[in-house]
Amino acid sequence: MRVPVSAMPRHVLMSADALGGVWQYACDLAGGIARQGIGVTLAVLGPAPTGAQQEDAEATGCRLIVTGLPLDWTAALPSEIEEAGETLARIAETLGADVVHLHSPAFAAAADFAVPVIATCHSCVATWWEAVETGPLPPDLAWRRDLAARGCRRVDALLAPSAAFANATARLYGLPLAPGVIHNGRRPAKPDTAQADPAPFAFTAGRLWDRAKNLAALDRIAARLAVPVHAAGPVEGQNGERIALPNLRLLGRLDDAGIARQLAQRPVFVTLARYEPFGLAVLEAAQAGCALVLADLPTFRELWDGAAVFADPEDEAGTARVLDAVMADPERRTALGEAARQRAGRYSVDAMAAGVADTFRAVLAMRADASRKEAAA
C-alpha cells in the first residue's frame, strides 16, 4: 500500500453520473478542490455526458473518463455493481490516486481499494422507499439497500448533504455514527439578461417522473391556480416510469443555461417533494432571488427555515391558497426572494470543497497513522 507522505492529497478519483444533480455536485466539487491544488479525475458511470456536460467538467480543470459502468440504481444484478467498484479500484491504482470519492457507497461494498475511500450519500432506495411507499422493500430494491449498507461500513468516511438525511441514513442502515454533514454548494448562474419584476408564473424542476417529487399533486394544484406552473425535466425515467402532467406547462429537459434563463425571471419556485436529501434546484432558485414555496420536510426546514414559505403537500387546497397568496403580494414575494438569496450564500462551492478537502486530509492521516502503528508492532 502506498502511504502518502502528507495528509494533503495530490490526486483524487471521483465517481459521478450524468443524469441528475450528482453531475452538478461533482463538477462544482471538482472545481472547488482543484482550486486547492488537488488534481481530479472524474469517472462517469451510466450514460455518457452530453457535449455540453463534458465541456462543463473539463472547464473545472479535471480529467474526464467515461467508463460505461452501470449505475447502482440501474444495474440488473448485484454483481454488476460489485464489478463496477472493482473497476474503479483498478482505475484509481492506475492513475496513482491518493483518495477515492464515490457518489454512492454501494460501489465500496465488495471492492478492495488500495487508498482511502470516502462516499457521499446523495440518496438511496431505503430512504426513498420510506418516504414514498409502505411495507417491505421489494427484492429488486432490497439487494440494492444491502449493497449500500455494506458500502457504508467499508468506506473510510461517509458524508451526507444535510443533517436530516444523515440521520435518516444512519437509522435505516443501523450505522453506529451518522454520516458527516457537508452541505452541497452550487456555482451561481450568470444569466444573459436580468428582469426587474418577478414573472407571473411558478416554476419547478427535477425528475418529474420520480414519485418522490410528487408532481402529480402539483399538477392537480396547478389547475386551481390563477397563474401557470412551468416544469422543467424529464417525464420518463431510465427505469421506464412515466407520468402525465396535463395542467403543467412542460418545458422538457433543460440544460443549466436553460434553467438559468427560467430562474432569471424570478418566478415563485415550488417543490412539493416527499423526499429530498438536499435539493440543488431549490438552491439554484434561491441564488436567483426567487421566492420559495417548499414542502414541509425536515431537510427543507434545516436549510431554508426563515427564508421560505412551507406548505403541506397533502393539503392541496391549502397549498394552492399559499401559492396564490405569495403570487398576489409583490412586496412579500420580493422579501422572500431576497431572504432566499441571502440564505443561499451559506451554501457555496468553496465551503463544500473545504469540507470535503478536510475529509480527504483526515482519512489520509488516519490511514498513515494506522500504517505507522502496524510497522511498529
Q: Give tens-digit pLDDT for 247-267.
A: 999 999 998 889 999 999 999
Claim to verify: residue 109 and residue 255 sit in the same structural domain: no
- Is the pLDDT assigned to residue 293 strictly greater than 50? yes
Q: Is 2 inside any structural domain?
A: no
**pLDDT value at residue 20:** 80
Q: Is 152 inside any structural domain?
A: yes
Claim to verify: residue 177 and residue 213 sit in the same structural domain: no
Claim to verify: residue 92 and residue 216 sit in the same structural domain: no
Full domain range(s) for residue 152: 11-185+349-376
Residues 102-119: tens digit of each pLDDT: 999 999 999 999 999 999
Q: Is 190 inside any structural domain?
A: no
Mean pLDDT, the chain, rounded, equals 92
Claim to verify: residue 23 and residue 168 sit in the same structural domain: yes
Claim to verify: residue 60 and residue 165 sit in the same structural domain: yes
Beta bridge partners of 311: 295
Residues 42-98: tens digit of each pLDDT: 999 999 999 988 998 889 889 999 999 999 988 999 999 999 999 999 999 999 999
| Residue that has been written with the C-alpha cell 419556485 in this structure | 269
Residues 167-219: tens digit of each pLDDT: 999 999 999 999 999 999 998 877 655 566 899 999 999 999 999 999 999 99
Using CA atoms in the order 245, 251, 256, 262, what is the torsion angle rounded to 10 degrees? Answer: -100
Q: Is 196 inside any structural domain?
A: no
Work out the number of other CB atoms within 10 angstroms of the CB of residue 310. Answer: 17
> In the chain, how many domains are there?
2
More confident residue, 374 or 157: 157
Given pLDDT bands bounded at 50, 70 and 90, which one contains residue 369? confident
Claim to verify: residue 319 and residue 267 sit in the same structural domain: yes
Specify the DSSP class assigned to residue 272: -
**pLDDT value at residue 1:** 33
- Is the pLDDT assigned to residue 8 strictly greater than 90? no
The phi and psi torsions of 50 (rounded to 5 degrees) equal: -70, 170
Complete DSSP assignment for 36-74 = TT-EEEEEEESSPPPHHHHHHHHHTT-EEEE--PPPTTT
Claim to verify: residue 29 and residue 153 sit in the same structural domain: yes
Say if CB 104 and CB 122 are below 8 A apart: yes
Claim to verify: residue 304 and residue 370 sit in the same structural domain: no
What's the CATH number where 223 sits? 3.40.50.2000
Q: Is 3 inside any structural domain?
A: no
- Is the pLDDT assigned to residue 3 strictly greater than 50? no
Q: Tell me the Ramachandran region of residue 96: left when phi exceeds 0, alpha when psi lies from -120 to 50, beta otherwise.
A: left
**pLDDT value at residue 192:** 54
Claim to verify: residue 74 and residue 108 sit in the same structural domain: yes
Claim to verify: residue 235 and residue 334 sit in the same structural domain: yes
Claim to verify: residue 126 and residue 210 sit in the same structural domain: no
Q: Is 35 inside any structural domain?
A: yes
Claim to verify: residue 368 and residue 338 sit in the same structural domain: no
